Homo-oligomer: A and B are copies of this chain.
Amino acid sequence: MVYLDDLDREILKLLKEDARITISEIGERLGKPESTIHFRIKKLIERGIIERYTIVLGESARPKEIAFVILELEKPVIEDFLSKYLEYVSRNLAMLPHILLVGKTKDERIIALIGAEDREELTKFIEENIKSIPSVKEVLVYHVEDFKKGEEIKGLLIGI
Protein backbone atom coordinates (compact mmCIF):
# COMPACT_ATOMS: atom_id res chain seq x y z
CA MET A 1 0.00 0.00 0.00
CA VAL A 2 1.24 3.48 -0.79
CA TYR A 3 1.85 6.01 1.92
CA LEU A 4 -1.04 8.41 2.49
CA ASP A 5 -1.26 10.75 5.45
CA ASP A 6 -4.50 11.87 7.09
CA LEU A 7 -4.84 14.95 4.88
CA ASP A 8 -4.42 12.86 1.69
CA ARG A 9 -7.08 10.45 2.94
CA GLU A 10 -9.51 13.24 3.82
CA ILE A 11 -9.07 14.81 0.39
CA LEU A 12 -9.58 11.46 -1.36
CA LYS A 13 -12.72 10.76 0.69
CA LEU A 14 -14.25 14.10 -0.30
CA LEU A 15 -13.38 13.56 -3.98
CA LYS A 16 -14.82 10.02 -3.93
CA GLU A 17 -18.10 11.37 -2.53
CA ASP A 18 -18.30 14.22 -5.00
CA ALA A 19 -15.52 14.89 -7.47
CA ARG A 20 -17.10 18.21 -8.47
CA ILE A 21 -16.17 19.73 -5.13
CA THR A 22 -13.90 22.76 -5.63
CA ILE A 23 -10.44 23.15 -4.14
CA SER A 24 -11.66 26.07 -2.05
CA GLU A 25 -14.55 23.97 -0.65
CA ILE A 26 -12.13 21.16 0.27
CA GLY A 27 -9.86 23.72 1.96
CA GLU A 28 -12.77 25.11 3.94
CA ARG A 29 -14.05 21.68 4.99
CA LEU A 30 -10.60 20.54 6.13
CA GLY A 31 -9.40 23.89 7.53
CA LYS A 32 -6.40 24.12 5.21
CA PRO A 33 -5.31 26.78 2.71
CA GLU A 34 -6.31 26.29 -0.93
CA SER A 35 -2.66 26.18 -1.99
CA THR A 36 -2.08 23.13 0.24
CA ILE A 37 -5.10 21.31 -1.20
CA HIS A 38 -4.06 22.19 -4.74
CA PHE A 39 -0.53 20.86 -4.13
CA ARG A 40 -1.79 17.65 -2.52
CA ILE A 41 -4.22 16.84 -5.35
CA LYS A 42 -1.47 17.51 -7.89
CA LYS A 43 0.80 15.09 -6.02
CA LEU A 44 -1.97 12.45 -5.70
CA ILE A 45 -2.41 12.57 -9.48
CA GLU A 46 1.37 12.49 -10.14
CA ARG A 47 1.79 9.53 -7.79
CA GLY A 48 -0.90 7.62 -9.67
CA ILE A 49 -3.19 7.49 -6.64
CA ILE A 50 -5.92 9.44 -8.41
CA GLU A 51 -6.09 7.76 -11.81
CA ARG A 52 -8.96 9.69 -13.30
CA TYR A 53 -12.33 11.32 -12.69
CA THR A 54 -15.53 9.61 -13.72
CA ILE A 55 -19.31 9.55 -13.26
CA VAL A 56 -21.48 7.08 -11.35
CA LEU A 57 -24.68 6.22 -13.19
CA GLY A 58 -27.83 6.36 -11.09
CA GLU A 59 -30.59 3.91 -10.23
CA SER A 60 -32.61 4.65 -13.36
CA ALA A 61 -29.72 3.57 -15.62
CA ARG A 62 -28.64 0.53 -13.60
CA PRO A 63 -29.49 -3.12 -14.25
CA LYS A 64 -32.21 -4.36 -11.88
CA GLU A 65 -31.01 -7.95 -11.75
CA ILE A 66 -27.43 -8.88 -10.96
CA ALA A 67 -25.80 -12.30 -10.79
CA PHE A 68 -22.30 -13.66 -10.34
CA VAL A 69 -21.59 -16.64 -12.54
CA ILE A 70 -18.78 -19.13 -12.09
CA LEU A 71 -18.04 -21.16 -15.14
CA GLU A 72 -16.00 -24.32 -15.32
CA LEU A 73 -14.96 -25.87 -18.61
CA GLU A 74 -14.23 -29.53 -19.30
CA LYS A 75 -10.54 -30.27 -19.52
CA PRO A 76 -10.08 -30.98 -23.20
CA VAL A 77 -8.06 -33.92 -24.46
CA ILE A 78 -5.31 -31.85 -26.04
CA GLU A 79 -2.93 -30.48 -23.44
CA ASP A 80 -2.31 -26.75 -23.22
CA PHE A 81 -5.56 -26.09 -25.00
CA LEU A 82 -7.49 -25.23 -21.83
CA SER A 83 -5.60 -22.04 -21.00
CA LYS A 84 -5.92 -20.75 -24.57
CA TYR A 85 -9.59 -21.67 -24.62
CA LEU A 86 -10.22 -19.93 -21.27
CA GLU A 87 -8.53 -16.82 -22.64
CA TYR A 88 -10.67 -16.95 -25.77
CA VAL A 89 -13.95 -17.53 -23.93
CA SER A 90 -13.32 -14.80 -21.35
CA ARG A 91 -12.37 -12.29 -24.06
CA ASN A 92 -15.56 -13.09 -25.94
CA LEU A 93 -17.66 -12.67 -22.80
CA ALA A 94 -16.01 -9.29 -22.13
CA MET A 95 -17.44 -7.99 -25.41
CA LEU A 96 -21.06 -8.56 -24.36
CA PRO A 97 -22.83 -5.53 -22.86
CA HIS A 98 -24.61 -7.62 -20.18
CA ILE A 99 -21.24 -8.67 -18.81
CA LEU A 100 -20.12 -6.00 -16.34
CA LEU A 101 -17.02 -7.82 -15.17
CA VAL A 102 -15.17 -10.94 -16.25
CA GLY A 103 -11.99 -12.54 -15.04
CA LYS A 104 -10.09 -15.81 -15.03
CA THR A 105 -9.44 -17.48 -11.70
CA LYS A 106 -6.24 -19.19 -10.57
CA ASP A 107 -8.02 -22.57 -10.66
CA GLU A 108 -8.99 -22.22 -14.33
CA ARG A 109 -12.54 -21.02 -13.91
CA ILE A 110 -14.17 -17.90 -15.31
CA ILE A 111 -16.03 -15.53 -13.02
CA ALA A 112 -18.44 -12.96 -14.41
CA LEU A 113 -20.87 -10.37 -13.15
CA ILE A 114 -23.99 -10.10 -15.28
CA GLY A 115 -26.58 -7.33 -15.24
CA ALA A 116 -30.05 -7.43 -16.78
CA GLU A 117 -33.41 -5.70 -16.62
CA ASP A 118 -35.19 -8.63 -14.96
CA ARG A 119 -34.79 -12.25 -13.96
CA GLU A 120 -36.14 -13.53 -17.25
CA GLU A 121 -33.64 -11.55 -19.34
CA LEU A 122 -30.81 -12.67 -17.06
CA THR A 123 -31.77 -16.35 -17.32
CA LYS A 124 -32.12 -16.06 -21.10
CA PHE A 125 -28.70 -14.39 -21.34
CA ILE A 126 -27.08 -17.17 -19.31
CA GLU A 127 -28.77 -19.88 -21.39
CA GLU A 128 -27.82 -18.32 -24.72
CA ASN A 129 -24.38 -16.94 -23.99
CA ILE A 130 -22.89 -19.01 -21.19
CA LYS A 131 -24.47 -22.44 -20.97
CA SER A 132 -24.12 -22.73 -24.75
CA ILE A 133 -20.31 -22.33 -24.69
CA PRO A 134 -18.80 -25.54 -26.06
CA SER A 135 -17.37 -27.85 -23.41
CA VAL A 136 -19.04 -26.17 -20.41
CA LYS A 137 -18.83 -28.47 -17.41
CA GLU A 138 -20.58 -26.46 -14.70
CA VAL A 139 -22.23 -23.03 -14.43
CA LEU A 140 -22.91 -21.76 -10.91
CA VAL A 141 -25.27 -18.78 -10.78
CA TYR A 142 -25.55 -16.61 -7.68
CA HIS A 143 -28.34 -14.05 -7.92
CA VAL A 144 -27.48 -11.10 -5.70
CA GLU A 145 -30.56 -9.98 -3.85
CA ASP A 146 -29.22 -7.35 -1.53
CA PHE A 147 -25.88 -5.54 -1.38
CA LYS A 148 -24.44 -4.40 1.94
CA LYS A 149 -21.42 -2.78 0.31
CA GLY A 150 -20.25 -2.04 -3.20
CA GLU A 151 -23.69 -1.79 -4.83
CA GLU A 152 -22.51 1.22 -6.81
CA ILE A 153 -20.46 -1.07 -9.08
CA LYS A 154 -23.72 -1.38 -11.00
CA GLY A 155 -23.50 2.32 -11.80
CA LEU A 156 -19.78 2.21 -12.47
CA LEU A 157 -19.33 -0.82 -14.68
CA ILE A 158 -22.45 -0.60 -16.79
CA GLY A 159 -21.92 0.16 -20.46
CA ILE A 160 -23.76 2.98 -22.16
Contacts and interface: CB of A to CB of B under 8 A. Distances in A.
A3 B149 CA distance: 28
A146 B104 contact: yes
Contacts of A145: 103-106
Interface in A6-22: 9, 12-13, 15-20
Contacts of A58: 48-51
Range for the number of chain A residues in contact with chain B:
35 or more
A29 to B, nearest CB: 15
Given A54-B55, A55-B16, A117-B1, A148 B48 contact: no
A147 interface: yes
Interface of A: 1-2, 4, 9, 12-13, 15-20, 47-61, 68, 70, 90-91, 93-94, 99-107, 109, 111, 113, 117, 142-153, 155-157, 160
Given A1-B61, A16-B54, A109 B150 contact: no
A153 B56 CA distance: 12
A38 to B, nearest CB: 15
A5 to B, nearest CB: 12
Nearest to A92: B148
A104 B151 CA distance: 11
Given A18-B53, A47-B60, A50-B56, 11 more contacts: A1-B117, A18-B54, A19-B19, A50-B58, A52-B56, A53-B54, A53-B55, A68-B68, A103-B144, A104-B148, A152-B157
